[in-house]
């Protein structure tokens, strides 16, 4: 093995959190920082044109294209789980939705023994990142940060009909889902700047790329963490057929996500020693919680055919329209190609006794091709019922000690029967919205699940057969204060010096929304923890009766 290059900090994974870490740690020219990404540089035009996300969902080189293990409670199916394999990680291939989750989600983390992670503690880190074009500077938002947040300038007529329909049903309108509460319906906030995707790489790496103390390695597949006793000293990675070692004088930081980070720990011998021994991996530190606590959001669609040509669909009839939209984009950075197709949605408490929403209602002015795509063929529109707080949990385990072998990803979808009830209530709400007068001029027949599927048992069977991940895996390196956790509240791996995990795998419970914005926040807070800085002053707020209130 070639002699190791050495840096103060070695960051594994150039995704949503890793890019933030690379920027913040290298701000001090006295820190030498190495960022290692298994994928390529983010040069593809599909990444930078927002609508290009359609082509990225099953891209052969820019996406890991994972699948779950067979899900017995979901009709034995293997469900698709895309993850970005490129600088920027999943922020380079996702739907660009900026969403923090409910404030109570973070108070839950603190209540589990994670001091410093309540909503009042993390709000300043959300604000540090952002440049919010929509709301400017206020209690919940700020300007001047590196991550741009904007709203689309034009919307599909079906999207307008959706919000007119929710208004007519007296469902609350929510102008800012990232404020005092998330209940209600409205337009999306997006990580788009001047008509171009703003991934974590374009936001945080591009401004730092010229720093002499920052080294970026792409196409470096990290196999394991190097250990001397109970201290991390670097990493071993594969570049093509060559094995290389990178030494870390201070810390190794895993930011490879809820799939990559636990897999690297396990290949390093950090995990359940009995399971690792069966794969021929020597146990270096018995930590059984690694890979456990896998959680993800499950969703099931309601699809309607539409009468007109308004929907975004894939057909030869749409070709002239697409040419026109391409000209709009090239010459004005506007129109279809400047958007993400996911223009509006909402959060609802289908259980009125709940202290926060249990269903996210996504709306797509197109026929959803959920397994590995966004826009499908045919004219229509789709409601996507997303289960925000699943009780079902699973685990990530290795199938081989080979670094290139895909792990077993088992989220345990629908293994807890309680997960069906909110999804069924979400179905009934989606149908009420679709039958509102606002959709009369567009709506034809419901074709999935179809009008014949009405009873709870029929809808339950439909969910088993026609549901999928919305690609938010978290929790596999759980943060906590007990023996069932992997990292402590400072994100240090328990029992191993010089090793942290800083990404969504540290979430003890899944948040009620998309996970991109929380990943950036974790990167921001994690950078201060690594550098030993005092935390940002907590916001002068409290969460009372499920809503954030400013304190005097």
pLDDT for res 371: 55
Where does 130-251 have alpha helices with state H? 157-168, 200
Q: Which helix (H) or strand (E) holds 528?
A: helix 516-531
Q: Which of 172, 173, 171, 177 is nearest to 102 (CA)?
A: 177
Does the reported pTM lie above 0.95? Answer: yes
3-state secondary structure (DSSP) of residue 543? strand
CB atoms near residue 455 (< 10 Å): 9
Q: Which residue has the tokens 């629908």?
A: 414
Q: Which two tokens stand for residue 184?
A: 């209600």
End-to-end CA separation in angstroms for the chain: 61
Report the C-alpha gap between 117 and 114 in whole angstroms. 6
Angle subtended at Cα 146 by Cα 144 and Cα 149, rounded to the nearest 5 degrees: 85
Q: Which of 16, 2, 62, 15 is nearest to 517 (CA)?
A: 16
Q: Which residue has the tokens 């007519």?
A: 168
Catalytic residues: 472
Q: Which residue has the tokens 């889902």?
A: 177
Residues in the chain: 552
Q: Which residue has the tokens 């959060």?
A: 347
Where does 407-470 have alpha helices with state H? 420-434, 456-465
Q: Which residue has the tokens 């304190």?
A: 551
CATH superfamily of 1-99+190-295+394-404+471-537: FAD/NAD(P)-binding domain (3.50.50.60)
Q: Which two tokens stand for residue 512?
A: 């009620």
pLDDT for res 153: 87
Beta bridge partners of 482: none
pLDDT for res 319: 81
Q: Which two tokens stand for residue 506?
A: 């540290």
Cα separations in angstroms, 357 against 176, 352, 360:
15, 9, 7
pLDDT for res 411: 98
Beta bridge partners of 173: 185
Torsion of CA 220, 226, 231, 234, to 10 degrees: -40
- Residue by residue, pLDDT tens for the chain (552 residues) are 666 799 999 999 999 999 999 999 999 999 999 999 999 999 999 999 999 999 999 999 999 999 999 999 999 999 999 999 999 999 999 999 999 999 999 999 999 999 999 999 999 999 999 999 999 999 999 999 999 999 998 899 999 999 999 999 999 999 999 999 999 999 999 999 999 999 999 999 999 999 999 999 999 999 999 999 999 999 999 998 899 999 999 999 999 999 999 999 999 999 999 999 999 999 999 999 999 999 999 999 999 999 888 898 777 777 888 889 898 999 889 999 999 989 999 999 999 999 999 999 999 999 987 555 566 678 899 999 999 999 999 999 999 999 999 999 999 999 999 999 999 999 999 999 999 999 999 999 999 999 999 999 999 999 999 999 999 999 999 999 998 899 999 999 999 999 999 999 999 999 999 999 999 999 999 999 999 999 999 999 999 988 999 997
The rounded radius of gyration (Å) of the Cα atoms in the chain is 23
pLDDT for res 512: 97
Q: Where are the domains of the chain?
A: 1-99+190-295+394-404+471-537, 153-187+298-389+415-466
CATH of domain 153-187+298-389+415-466: 3.30.410.40
pLDDT for res 106: 98
Burial class (CB in 10 A: 0-12, 13-18, 19+), 545: exposed
Q: Which helix (H) or strand (E) holds 499?
A: strand 499-501
Q: Which residue has the tokens 């919205």?
A: 433
Reported as half-sphere exposure (CB side, CA atoms, 13 A), residue 251 has a value of 23
Is residue 275 within 8 A of residue 32, CB to CB? The reply is no
């Amino acid at each position: 093995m070639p002699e190791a290059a050495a840096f103060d900090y070695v960051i594994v994974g150039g995704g949503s959190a890793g890019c933030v870490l690379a920027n913040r740690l290298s701000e001090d020219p006295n820190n030498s920082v190495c960022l290692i990404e298994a994928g390529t540089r983010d040069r593809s035009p599909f990444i930078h044109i927002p609508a290009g996300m359609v082509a990225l969902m099953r891209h052969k080189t820019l996406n890991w294209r994972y699948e779950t293990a067979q899900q017995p409670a979901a009709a034995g199916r293997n469900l698709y789980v895309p993850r970005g394999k490129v600088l920027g990680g999943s922020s380079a291939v996702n739907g660009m939705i900026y969403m923090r989750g409910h404030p109570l989600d973070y108070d839950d983390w603190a209540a589990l023994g994670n001091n410093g992670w309540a909503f009042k503690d993390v709000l300043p880190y959300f604000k540090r990142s952002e440049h919010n074009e929509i709301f400017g500077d206020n209690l919940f938002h700020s300007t001047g940060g590196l991550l741009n947040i904007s709203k689309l300038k034009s919307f599909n007529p079906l999207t307008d009909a959706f919000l007119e329909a929710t208004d007519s049903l007296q469902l609350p309108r929510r102008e800012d889902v990232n404020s005092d509460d998330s209940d209600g319906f409205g337009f999306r906030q997006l990580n788009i700047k001047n008509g171009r995707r703003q991934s974590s790489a374009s936001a945080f790496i591009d401004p730092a790329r010229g720093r002499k103390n920052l080294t970026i390695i792409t196409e470096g597949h990290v196999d394991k963490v190097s250990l001397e006793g109970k201290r991390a000293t670097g990493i071993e990675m594969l570049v093509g057929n060559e094995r290389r070692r990178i030494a870390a004088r201070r810390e190794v930081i895993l930011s490879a996500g809820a799939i990559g980070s636990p897999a690297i720990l396990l290949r390093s011998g950090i995990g359940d020693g009995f399971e690792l021994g069966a794969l021929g991996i020597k146990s270096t530190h018995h930590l059984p919680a690694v890979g456990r606590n896998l959680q993800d959001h499950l969703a099931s669609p309601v699809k309607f055919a539409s009468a007109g040509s308004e929907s975004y669909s894939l057909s030869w009839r749409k070709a002239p329209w697409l040419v026109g939209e391409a000209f709009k984009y090239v010459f004005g950075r506007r129109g279809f190609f400047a958007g993400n197709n996911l223009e509006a949605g909402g959060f609802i408490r289908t259980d009125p006794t709940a202290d926060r929403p249990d269903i996210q209602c996504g709306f797509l002015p197109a026929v959803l091709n959920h397994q590995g795509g966004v826009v499908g063929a045919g004219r229509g529109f789709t409601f996507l019922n997303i289960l925000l707080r699943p009780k079902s949990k699973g685990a990530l385990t290795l199938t081989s000690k080979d670094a290139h072998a895909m792990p077993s990803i088992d989220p345990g979808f629908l293994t807890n029967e309680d997960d069906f009830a909110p999804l069924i209530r979400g179905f009934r709400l989606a149908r009420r919205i679709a039958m509102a007068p606002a959709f009369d001029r567009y709506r034809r027949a419901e074709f999935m699940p179809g009008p014949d599927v009405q009873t709870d048992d029929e809808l339950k069977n439909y969910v088993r057969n026609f549901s999928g991940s919305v690609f938010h895996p978290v929790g596999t390196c759980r943060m906590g204060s007990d023996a069932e956790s992997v990292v402590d509240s400072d994100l240090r791996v328990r029992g191993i010096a010089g090793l942290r995990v800083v990404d969504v795998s540290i979430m003890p419970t899944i948040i009620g929304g998309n996970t991109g914005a929380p990943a950036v926040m974790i990167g921001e807070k994690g950078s201060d923890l690594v550098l030993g800085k005092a935390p940002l002053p907590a916001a002068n707020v409290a969460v009372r009766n499920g809503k954030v209130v400013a304190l005097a």
